[in-house]
């Protein structure tokens, strides 16, 4: 923060989050079916935080390309242009950086990909921020504003003390275009998964915000008009003692305000061992938790050091405990471990069906730079840069078998019958879940009217029919969904409006995995993206070879 006596120049700063390719996470094909004008599922919390870290004297403009196109001409007026991005966004980051590098602005880059592969951005920007930047970013802006010299590379010496972070500036984003807000409570994770870069970037000692900070952020989210918020932690329960102390403040805030926010987060499977923690989460209005299960195969979990998933009870029992507590589980799975052979795909499908987890992301193992996996595969001579989907040589199958096996598994998992069947089993098979959900529904002041729900359903139904017609499958689609509706009506699992909403979600996964499967294998389904980026002047050419 600025403390000196020299007058600061007022800087105009533009921060850009590049668009994502369609993926499981983005639910891009469901968005246009929802009422309103939704263009992205989750808000890019990094932009609102980076804005919040700066003194109000500066002008900050945020552009989320998932929501609005970038007008490159209009960027001429800015003193600083910052671009963030994770690995899947890197090709688009390069395109944006090439567009802006001849503008008068100082061009800076940061984010999860710069944290693990800074040399990728050599020649593409003036300044790179490696890893956390909560101190270095405002210091850099202060230096620029004073006309003092700045560095070409910043890396914080100390991890950020989360309790010092300012509130995010949600008001700078076009909030009406998002389904869900995001806040971050903690950074870091105590576990040791071999493929994970979180512990490389953020460390193994989880650092947390204070209860007061969390409540203030939730209040900001509520005031920005959201009813859903994701706590985008790597592992929300990384420090169980701290989270148990924090949750009562959220519970009090929710009670006092009529439960305005439904919450979701990511956590590890050992959540199931802690009934007290699950109960606190449900009281705080957490509805959904994403869990990295990765594999039903114990050998693969051992290999990747995801030991928390094989300790104690079976994974299926643990998932039952989480469901019984009232939480819906979504989950991530990985194929391509050394212990995986071609039977793994069916094992994954069977496990997911048995666990009745409706929304699952199944992806290929990726060797991210700086991770122990990357070092091991490098030492074994198994890293490659010649394949769009897979950046290493698998042990027990070819890369084609791996990519195709994954695509087939996804197709099976996202037929309407399979997806809606898992949803129905999830909501009907647990007495505990039903009771908890009834209590949650009774306490929430949704403010919604029957007419409002009918109008929303009408919009979803109409837009879904239109989307199916565009794909030339209106009649087939109606039959597909009506067949499932009759099944769920027989067990009275859900109302018609809820069913229609689930159809919209399913349509996304169906389109992604069935109608455009080949295309998606090349783009969004895996996290590698195009193996090479053809840069105009060759600067970024072959940068993908670094991964
Ligand atoms: C929320 C989230 C998402 C959201 C993003 C929503 C959005 N609109 O941004 C969604 C759900 C879409 C998502 C999807 C995926 N994600 Co994600 N996601 C996260 C998560 C949990 C939090 C991101 C966040 O908001 N962090 C909070 C901000 C404040 O932290 P930060 O981004 O690190 O920013 C700090 C610094 O990096 C720096 N900084 C960042 N940008 C910039 C820019 C400038 C100019 C400056 C100066 C500084 C700076 O300053 C910040 C403050 O210190 C992270 C994990 C994590 N801890 O970051 C994973 C993470 C980013 N995701 C990851 C992955 C792999 C994915 C998927 C590919 C998963 C998959 N297997 O499918 C998909 C992408 C799917 C696709 N579309 O193809 C990886 C990225 C790996 C990498 N190093 O690039 C991460 C790190 C988690 C992990 N290791 O698995 N994700
Ligand atoms: S549990 Fe998740 S965040 Fe923690 S080390 Fe493993 S993959 Fe990374």
Rg of the chain on CA atoms, in Å = 23
CATH number for the region 12-155 comes to 3.40.50.280
Separation of alpha carbons 161 and 344, rounded Å: 42
Helix (H, G, I), strand (E, B) or coil at 228: strand
Separation of alpha carbons 281 and 328, rounded Å: 12
Q: pLDDT digit string (tens) for 338-372?
A: 999 999 999 999 999 999 999 999 999 999 999 99
Ligand 2 binding pocket mutation candidate from 268, 332, 363 (most atoms within 8 A of CB): 268
Taken as a whole, the chain contains a residue count of 547
* DSSP helix, strand, coil percent of the chain (3-state; round to 5): 45, 15, 40
Q: pLDDT digit string (tens) for 85-125?
A: 999 999 999 999 999 988 999 999 999 999 999 999 999 99
257-278 mean pLDDT: 97
Residue 280 pLDDT level (bands cut at 50, 70, 90): very high
Ligand 2 in reach of 191 Cβ (< 6 A): yes
Ligand 2 in reach of 198 Cβ (< 6 A): yes
Note the ligand closest to the C-alpha atom of 21: 1
User: For the ranges 268-282, 316-330, 433-447, 519-533, which has the lowest average pLDDT?
Assistant: 519-533
143-147 mean pLDDT: 96
User: What percentage of the chain reaches a pLDDT higher than 90?
Assistant: 86
Note the ligand closest to the C-alpha atom of 306: 2
Residue 458 pLDDT level (bands cut at 50, 70, 90): very high
Per-residue model confidence (pLDDT) at position 520:
46
Residue 547 pLDDT level (bands cut at 50, 70, 90): very low
Separation of alpha carbons 356 and 358, rounded Å: 6
Per-residue model confidence (pLDDT) at position 516:
67
Per-residue model confidence (pLDDT) at position 386:
81
Q: pLDDT digit string (tens) for 484-537?
A: 999 999 888 889 999 999 999 999 999 999 876 555 444 434 444 443 333 333
Helix (H, G, I), strand (E, B) or coil at 252: helix
How many CB atoms within 10 Å of residue 149? 7
118-146 mean pLDDT: 97
By alpha-carbon position, which residue is closest to atom 44 of ligand 1? 110
Whether the per-residue pLDDT at 545 is higher than 80: the answer is no
Domain 184-432+531-537 -> CATH class: alpha beta
Contact 55, 1 (CB under 8 A): yes
Q: pLDDT digit string (tens) for 171-189?
A: 999 999 999 999 999 999 9
Ligand 2 in reach of 188 Cβ (< 6 A): no
Whether the per-residue pLDDT at 546 is higher than 60: the answer is no
Per-residue model confidence (pLDDT) at position 8:
73
Per-residue model confidence (pLDDT) at position 447:
59
User: For the ranges 73-87, 389-403, 444-458, 486-500, which has the lowest average pLDDT?
Assistant: 444-458
Per-residue model confidence (pLDDT) at position 7:
56
Taking alpha carbons only, the member of 368, 375, 379 closest to residue 115 is 368
Q: What is the DSSP code (8-state) at residue 432? A: H
Taking alpha carbons only, the member of 107, 18, 30, 105 closest to residue 68 is 18
By alpha-carbon position, which residue is closest to atom 8 of ligand 2? 196
Ligand 2 in reach of 371 Cβ (< 6 A): no
User: Please, what is the average pLDDT of the chain?
Assistant: 92
List the domain boundaries for the chain. 12-155, 184-432+531-537
Ligand 1 binding pocket mutation candidate from 21, 111, 203 (most atoms within 8 A of CB): 111
């Amino acid at each position: 923060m600025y403390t000196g006596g020299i007058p600061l120049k007022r800087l105009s700063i533009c921060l850009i989050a590049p668009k994502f390719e369609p993926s499981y996470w983005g639910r891009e094909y469901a968005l246009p079916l929802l009422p309103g004008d939704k263009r992205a599922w989750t808000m890019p919390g990094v932009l609102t935080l980076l804005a919040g870290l700066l003194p109000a004297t500066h002008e900050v403009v945020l552009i989320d390309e998932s929501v609005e196109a970038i007008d490159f001409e209009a960027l001429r007026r800015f003193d600083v242009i910052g671009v963030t991005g994770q690995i899947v966004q890197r090709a688009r980051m390069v395109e944006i950086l090439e567009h802006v590098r001849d503008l008068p602005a100082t061009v800076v880059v940061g984010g999860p990909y710069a944290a693990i592969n800074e040399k990728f951005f050599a020649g593409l920007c003036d300044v790179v921020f490696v890893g956390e930047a909560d101190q270095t970013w405002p210091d850099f802006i202060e230096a620029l504003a004073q006309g003092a010299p700045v560095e070409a590379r910043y890396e914080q010496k100390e991890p950020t003390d989360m309790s010092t972070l300012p509130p995010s500036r949600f008001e700078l984003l076009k909030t009406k275009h998002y389904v869900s807000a995001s806040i971050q409570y903690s950074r870091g994770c105590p576990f040791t998964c071999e493929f994970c870069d979180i512990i490389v970037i953020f460390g193994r000692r989880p650092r947390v915000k204070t209860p007061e900070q969390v409540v203030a952020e939730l209040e900001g989210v509520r005031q920005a008009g959201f009813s859903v918020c994701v706590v985008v932690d790597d592992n929300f329960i990384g420090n169980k003692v701290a989270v148990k102390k924090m949750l009562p403040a959220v519970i009090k805030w929710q009670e006092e305000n009529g439960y305005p926010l439904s919450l979701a987060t990511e956590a590890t499977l050992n959540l199931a061992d802690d009934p007290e923690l699950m109960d606190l989460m449900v009281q705080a209005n957490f509805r959904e938790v994403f869990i990295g299960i990765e594999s039903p195969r114990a050998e693969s979990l051992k290999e990747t050091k995801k030991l928390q998933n094989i300790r104690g009870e079976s994974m299926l029992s643990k998932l039952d405990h989480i469901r019984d507590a009232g939480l819906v589980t979504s989950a991530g799975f990985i194929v391509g471990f050394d212990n995986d052979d071609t039977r793994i795909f069916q094992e994954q499908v069977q496990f997911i069906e048995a666990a009745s987890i409706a929304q699952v992301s199944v992806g290929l193992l990726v060797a991210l730079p700086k991770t122990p996996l990357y070092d091991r595969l490098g030492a074994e001579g198994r890293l490659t840069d010649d394949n769009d989907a897979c950046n290493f040589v698998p042990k027990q199958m070819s890369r084609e078998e791996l990519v195709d096996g994954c695509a087939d598994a996804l197709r099976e998992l996202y037929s309407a019958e399979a997806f809606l069947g898992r949803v129905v089993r999830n909501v009907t098979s647990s007495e505990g879940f039903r009771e908890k959900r009834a209590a949650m529904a009774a306490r929430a002041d949704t403010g919604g009217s029957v007419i409002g729900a009918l109008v929303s359903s009408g919009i979803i139904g109409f837009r879904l029919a239109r989307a199916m017609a565009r794909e030339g499958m209106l009649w087939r689609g109606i039959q597909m969904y009506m067949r499932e509706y009759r099944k769920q009506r027989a067990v009275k699992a859900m109302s018609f409006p809820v069913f229609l909403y689930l159809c919209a979600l399913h349509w996304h996964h169906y389109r992604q995995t069935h109608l455009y499967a080949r295309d998606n294998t090349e783009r969004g389904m895996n996290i590698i993206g195009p193996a090479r980026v053809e840069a105009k002047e060759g600067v970024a050419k072959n940068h993908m070879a670094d991964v």
